[in-house]
A and B are shown apart, each in its own frame.
Chain A
Amino acid sequence: MPDLDLFRVLTLQDYNTRIVVGGVTVLGLASGVIGSFMLLRKRSLLGDAISHATLPGIACAFLVLGALGLDGKNLPGLLLGATLSGGLGVGAILLLVHWTRLKEDAALGIVLSVFFGLGVCLLRIIQKLETGSAAGLESFIYGKTASMIASDAQLILASSLVIAGTCGLLFKEFTLLCFDTQYAGAQGWPIVALDITLMVLVVGVTVVGLQAVGLILMVALLIIPAAAARFWTEHLPTMVVGAAVLGAVSSLVGALLSALLPDTPAGAVIVLVASGFFLVSLLAGPARGVVGRAWRQSELRRKIARQHLLRAVYELSEMANHPPSVRRNELLARRSWSPRQLAQTISAAERAGLVVPTEPNAIRLTEPGRRHAARVTRNHRLWELYLIEHADIAPSHVDRDADQIEHVLAPEMIQKLEALLLHQDRDRQPPASPHALEERP
């Protein structure tokens, strides 16, 4: 029997499930798009303040509709109220920031809490009046995903299309606004009007999303997919599309999960799915993910250690009367590396075929190893020369500074260095070291 349920849910055979899944998916898509721009404008928490600020409008609309003898839960009326008070909240934030010495974070917090407090007062009054059941209004805070009806889904679809469409039309204007406000101003773009448009879109998506997924979870949809998408790409259109896809997929998966598992509020599950995507992105995102970065760093460390080893062996065997094989304790004395580090680096170099062991505690360069070592030593000495000649660094310090830079040299930099330092000498042998090698500790 549960298998049958699973099948029914996943194939969206249930009319209700179809509406819910469709509605939240489109909502996730629109919030991903608008959330991307809010993230880049560094105003992610504005959605938080706006969504709280809608509450008094909803309650007020309910009271007014009731007083006019209409159905208090007339959706367009409630949404109008929500939009008005959300807009009022944005206005209050802007006024506080421009007219007083309060900073943006305080303005957000003030509007969020005071508006919400007012909403709580009004809700309490509604509860105490016995004219109509106010139970539906609670859904604006926690969401009522499971009981979404067709007209709700249609409303979400229509608003999301408008919001995504506006973002598409104003894509380049919003990009410029978020990247370089000052330049946009100098070019004559109406910065304030663009900012307000962006905020109006946030109010719009928040208002339609509130009753679907609830207040806090709407905030999450505006922030998390965008922040997650940022880890995957350095290309803005891709990021916006990615955020939309992540938002939509999180909503889809979350809604399905919540339909399958008993006692799981859909809104919370959607957020948790989105957070899961965020965590994966944070760790594994190719552009900025933690794992990728750590791996690149350890790769660089390994490369540097190998280059140090090769250069040390090369320089030792370069010395007069020195046999081509180099003993470990000679190498240990040359740099401040621990015996373990050295052993690891040597075995890695052996695996790469750059050095071969000659006797238990000695190694020598192979032919490819010698070529590689010569190139590494050459780069190092070129830098030393450059630093001495062009940066006025004392020869006794030059080795250390060259050490820092040489490992990250791009080929074109090396060509430039060569052109600068070795006009006539085009052979690939390393130049002589500009300081005495024996002096080294």
Chain B
Amino acid sequence: MNDPMQPEGLRLERVASGAEHPTSSPLSIHDMTVAYHRKPVLWDVDYDAPDGKLIAIIGPNGAGKSTLLKATLDLIPKASGIVTIYGQPYHQQRHLVGYVPQRESVDWDFPVNALDVVTMGRYGQIGWFRPVGRRHRAVALEALDRVGMADYAKRQISQLSGGQQQRVFLARALAQDARLYLMDEPFAGVDASTERAIVEVLRTLQRAGKTVLVVHHDLQTVAEYFDAVVLLNMRIVACGPTADVFTEENLRKTYGGRLTLLEEAANALARNRGSRE
């Protein structure tokens, strides 16, 4: 055990141990560490999403919930880690992943209507250069209908309420017909009826065998809406079926104070990384 040629388990060994992850998992995050300039940090996230479940990612502000999604999608650089989607590297499987970004991430004054935005979810299937055909527009319209927004298809997006904008984003992900959905705070700032509509859509997705990860804020509704939870605070505190994991004790661990030492360390790492760029 104390072979000095293999001091305390070499990195090589860690890379090789990727094999222990089941290849069928819709989303498999292996050893992901993110220490990005002024973003919340993530330490050594190791996670296999169960297939066909509604999964909530919860944790306090600055716990790195959005960072987790963005790093998974390669939108921000990772310090380390491997992400596989149904057993294949993410960049080969992009078409299987539907992403619902936070509503604030775009300029809602853009001259497009709700249907146009939803149609963007089909662009991947349509491919380069080809215009949007009637078939794809029909799929988009159907997606709008599923979120209860069919009547607003021709409405300019700046005229939609916050909840309606959120539903349009959701419909865009639906139109993509993905197998795995990553949603960044879809319930943030929406009215009660939008929340019900979104939950209904999530349930339908689950019935169709899709896997959905949702960054969620409202602890009250976790048990009601989700099958599984990921409790996150710079690292995964606990994850698993809601009934087992969503406990008082785990919540206290997740929300009970920050790991200042780790934050300090992450800042030092980010500085080193920054000087490399």
Q: Within 8 Å by CB, do A and B touch in the complex?
A: yes
Q: Which residues of A contact B (CB under 8 A)?
A: 40, 169-173, 175-176, 178-180, 182-183, 185-189, 230, 233-236, 239, 416
Cβ 8 A contact of B131, one of A171, A180, A187, A188: A171
Q: Contact residues of B with A, CB < 8 Å? A: 73-75, 91, 94-95, 97, 99, 101, 105-107, 110-113, 116-117, 120, 123-124, 126, 128-129, 131-132, 156, 158, 172, 193
**A179 touching B99 in the complex, CB below 8 Å, given contacts A173-B128, A185-B75, A186-B94:** no
- A185 CA / B172 CA spacing, docked (Å): 15
Q: List chain B residues, Cβ under 8 A from A186.
A: 73-75, 94, 97, 99, 101
Which of A182, A187, A235, A416 touches B105 (beta carbons < 8 Å)? A182
A182, B111: Cβ atoms closer than 8 Å: no
Inter-subunit contact B110/A235 (CB<8 Å): no
Q: Which residues of A contact B74 (CB under 8 A)?
A: 185-186
Measured in the bound complex, the distance between the Cα atoms of B105 and A174 in whole Å is 17
Q: Is B111 within 8 A of A230, CB to CB?
A: yes
A176 contact set on B, CB distance < 8 A? 120, 123
> How many residue pairs bridge A and B at CB < 8 Å?
72
B120 touches A235 (CB 8 A): no
Known contacts A185-B75, A186-B73, A188-B94: A178-B120 contact under CB 8 Å: no
Please measure, in the bound complex, the distance between the C-alpha atom of A178 and the C-alpha atom of B116, giving whole angstroms.
13
A-B contact pairs, 27 of them (CB 8 A): A169-B129, A170-B129, A172-B120, A172-B123, A172-B131, A175-B116, A175-B120, A176-B123, A179-B110, A179-B112, A180-B101, A180-B106, A182-B105, A183-B99, A183-B101, A183-B106, A185-B73, A185-B74, A186-B99, A188-B91, A188-B95, A234-B111, A235-B112, A235-B113, A236-B110, A236-B111, A239-B111
Q: Could you say which residues of chain A place their CB within 8 Å of the CB of B126?
A: 172
- Contact yes or no, B124 A179, CB < 8 A: no
A336–B3 Cα gap in the complex (Å)? 87
Output the least CB separation between A237 and chain B (Å). 9
B112: chain A residues within 8 A (beta carbon)? 175, 179, 234-236
From residue B86, how far is it (CB to closest CB) to chain A in Å?
A: 16
The answer for the CA separation of A239 and B109 in the assembled complex, in Å, is 14
Q: Which residues of B contact A416 (CB under 8 A)?
A: 193
The answer to whether B91 touches A40 (Cβ under 8 A) is no
B111 touches A187 (CB 8 A): no
Residues of chain A lying within 8 A (CB to CB) of residue B101: 180, 182-183, 186
Instruction: Report the Cα distance A296→B113, complex, angstroms.
Output: 21
Which residue of chain B is the closest to A42 with respect to CB atoms? B107
Q: Which of B94, B107, B111 has the most CB of A within 10 A?
A: B111
- Known contacts A186-B75, A186-B94, A186-B97, A173 near B111 by CB under 8 Å: no
A176 to B126, CA, bound (A): 13
Q: CA separation between A239 and B126, bound complex, in Å?
A: 23
- Which residues on A sit within 8 Å (CB–CB) of B116? 175, 236
Q: Across the A-B interface, give the 7 residue pairs with the lowest CB-CB distance, nearest first.
A: A234-B156, A188-B94, A186-B99, A186-B73, A180-B106, A169-B129, A236-B111
| Shortest distance from the beta carbon of B100 to any chain A beta carbon, whole Å | 9
CB distance from B121 to the nearest CB of A (A): 9
The answer to whether A179 touches B120 (Cβ under 8 A) is yes
Q: Are A183 and B120 in contact (CB under 8 A)?
A: yes
Distance A380 CA – B91 CA, assembled complex (angstroms): 55
Cβ of B105 and Cβ of A188 under 8 Å apart? no
B256 CB, nearest partner CB in chain A, Å: 30
| Least CB separation from B73: chain A residue | A186
> CA separation between A187 and B132, bound complex, in Å?
16
Nearest-CB distance from A244 to chain B (Å)?
15
Contact status B117-A172, CB under 8 Å: no
Give A233's nearest chain B residue, CB to CB.
B111
Return A48 CB to nearest CB of chain B, in Å.
Answer: 22
Query: Within the complex, which residue of A169, A170, A180, A187 is in contact with B124, where a contact is CB–CB below 8 Å?
Result: A187
- Chain A residues positioned under 8 Å from B158 (CB to CB): 234
Contact of A182 among B75, B94, B172, B193 (CB under 8 A): B75
Q: Known contacts A189-B123, A233-B111; can you find 4 more A-B pairs with CB under 8 A?
A: A179-B110, A180-B101, A182-B105, A187-B99
Residue in contact with A180 in the complex, picked from B120, B128, B129, B193, CB distance below 8 Å: B120
Report the minimum CB–CB distance from B190 to chain A (whole Å). 15
Cα distance A189–B172 in the bound complex, in angstroms: 16
B117 and A188: CB pair below 8 A?
no
Distance in angstroms between the alpha carbons of A188 and B113 in the assembled complex: 23
| B131 CB → nearest A CB, Å | 7
Instruction: With both chains docked as a complex, state the minimum distance between the C-beta of B150 and any C-beta of chain A, in angstroms.
Output: 14
| CB of A160, distance to nearest CB on chain B (Å) | 19
